[in-house]
Amino acid sequence: MPSYDVSPMDEKLKAGHPMVNKLANNWPKCVYTAIFVYTHIAFGMTITMYPPIMVDMKYILHTSIRYVSLYTTFLSAGYMLGTVFGYLYEYINRQLTAIVFLTLMTVGSALTPLSPDLWSLYACAFAIGMGAAVWNTMANVWLIEMWANHSSPLLQLLHCGFGAGTIISPLILKSHLVGETRYHGTVDNSTVSNYTMDGNYSQGLEKEFNERRLGLVIPFQINAAIQILSPIAMLIMFVFKRYEPPPSPLSSAPAVLDTNDNNVTKPVPPSGKLLDRSGVWPRRWSIALFCVWLSAYCVAENTLMGFGATYFQFCPLRLTAQEAAQLLSTAAIAFTAGRGLSVLTAIYFKPQQMIGYHFVLLMISVVALYAGQYNLNVLRVSTVMAGLVIFKI
């Protein structure tokens, strides 16, 4: 029989492309990463669904902006408690933890426009905050754990997904918003639990308020349907391909002989944490400065995301609810573009430099937002600038 020589090209084809082989071996991680990005898109939608409807909820619940704006307070309280629950994955299965709290966030979002009173609204906010905190705490660490040194671009992709969600939600809501109609009647609402409607409100207005509620149910149910797919996908992977965390760094560290017992080896512990190293910045001062900076950033972010749409409607320009939602969506587009831009700027600038110039631009954008209440073009530019700087940090 004739013999055929096997060329190097044939051997490569038989062996397969290295990238294809790597993807084939790591397909569970690729699937989990895709689920993470999708979940972050839904996460961004859920977090930004309420601010544009704040004025409508004022009329639906026959109360004032003062009390419907407390939604963000309860959202933050739930987020603070949720960060504690986010560490449950160290003691119980992280997939089950994510499934439970993502479902909780879905239920809270779906019931928000159906809230019969303020306390029900606050309960929905608290549930959403807890679910958001647990997921946000777990997702970044989980992604880094899976991809290690290759996780940086995937982290950017993850937060680009969040940005995409913040763009989508105002667009879904836009056609269902009514906003401020500047009624002359007032609402007596001295307490949260005991509120009464002014006598000037007619039955026709009451019917209109119910129509506002029904109009908001549609986009919130759409959001809930998108959100619930995340825990379902996580549950499917839990059943068919459960995630197994990699071995601890201590178990994979090189072993050395114990000086007390030559027959026993011990792993070399990893190097000290960043804040424990001796260097230019004392540890306590660096932590304190970071906390002050992060607090200012959180205030700016929550102010724009939580109250931006309401501010646009009540500022001297008196934008409509649809225009306010569109402007907030523009800020979200700037955020998503900023995420892509940060990949390039990180190549040329150090983290300290990026934090520095972002903080300066943050202060400029906040001042410009205040001045923009008298000029629409200034308001648009400052909103885009704020979205580019605030969310990109």
DSSP structural state of residue 3: -
Does residue 271 form part of some domain? no
131 and 107 in contact (C-beta within 8 Å)? no
* CA-wise closest residue to 227 among 128, 310, 293: 128
Residues in the chain: 393
3-state secondary structure 336-351: HHHHHHHHHHHHHCCH
Please tell me the least confidently modeled range out of 278-287, 312-321, 329-338. Answer: 278-287
Residues 354 and 301 in one domain: yes
Residues 242 and 298 in one domain: no
Does residue 258 form part of some domain? no
Residues 301 and 153 in one domain: no
Higher pLDDT, 273 or 105: 105
Please tell me the least confidently modeled range out of 29-33, 166-170, 189-193, 378-382. Answer: 189-193
CA distance 165 to 135: 15
* CA-wise closest residue to 65 among 75, 57, 76: 57
Per residue in 36-45, pLDDT (tens digit) is 999 999 998 9
Residues 34 and 116 in one domain: yes
Residues 349 and 224 in one domain: no
CA distance 268 to 273: 15
The residue-averaged pLDDT of 11-24 equals 51
Does residue 253 form part of some domain? no
* CA-wise closest residue to 138 among 99, 165, 176, 166: 99
CA distance 254 to 250: 9
Does residue 328 form part of some domain? yes
User: Which CATH number fits the domain that encloses residue 92?
Assistant: 1.20.1250.20
Per residue in 135-156, pLDDT (tens digit) is 988 888 888 888 877 777 788 7
* CA-wise closest residue to 389 among 315, 304, 286: 304
CA distance 93 to 235: 12
Q: Is the pLDDT of residue 95 over 50?
A: yes
Higher pLDDT, 62 or 295: 62
Residues 176 and 320 in one domain: no
Residues 208 and 356 in one domain: no
Give the confidence band of 23 by pLDDT, cuts at 50, 70, 90.
Answer: low
Give the confidence band of 307 by pLDDT, cuts at 50, 70, 90.
Answer: confident
CA distance 324 to 305: 12
Does residue 59 form part of some domain? yes
Q: How many CB atoms sit inside 10 A of residue 204's CB?
A: 8
CA distance 105 to 216: 18
The residue-averaged pLDDT of 1-6 equals 48
Give Cα 250 to chain centroid, integer Å: 32
Residues 284 and 362 in one domain: yes
Does residue 390 form part of some domain? yes
Give the confidence band of 332 by pLDDT, cuts at 50, 70, 90.
Answer: confident
Mean pLDDT (the chain, rounded): 76
Per residue in 337-388, pLDDT (tens digit) is 777 677 677 667 777 777 777 778 888 888 888 888 888 888 888 888 888 8
pLDDT recorded at residue 250: 47
Does residue 256 form part of some domain? no
SS3 121: helix
3-state secondary structure 75-94: HHHHHHHHHHHHHHHHCCCH
Give the confidence band of 2 by pLDDT, cuts at 50, 70, 90.
Answer: very low
Residues 71 and 132 in one domain: yes
Q: Is the pLDDT of residue 196 over 80?
A: no
Per residue in 240-295, pLDDT (tens digit) is 888 777 766 544 445 444 555 555 545 555 544 544 555 555 777 777 877 777 77
The residue-averaged pLDDT of 34-63 equals 90
Question: Element (H or E) spanning 222, and its range?
Answer: helix 203-240
Residues 164 and 51 in one domain: yes
Residues 237 and 335 in one domain: no
pLDDT recorded at residue 392: 54
Sign, CA dihedral 106-112-117-122, equals positive
- Exposed/middle/buried for 20, CB within 10 Å: 0-12, 13-18, 19+? exposed
Domain of residue 372: give its range. Answer: 280-393
How many domains is the chain partitioned into structurally?
2
Q: Is the pLDDT of residue 26 over 80?
A: no
Does residue 61 form part of some domain? yes
Residues 111 and 243 in one domain: yes
Percent of the chain clearing pLDDT 70 (strictly above): 74
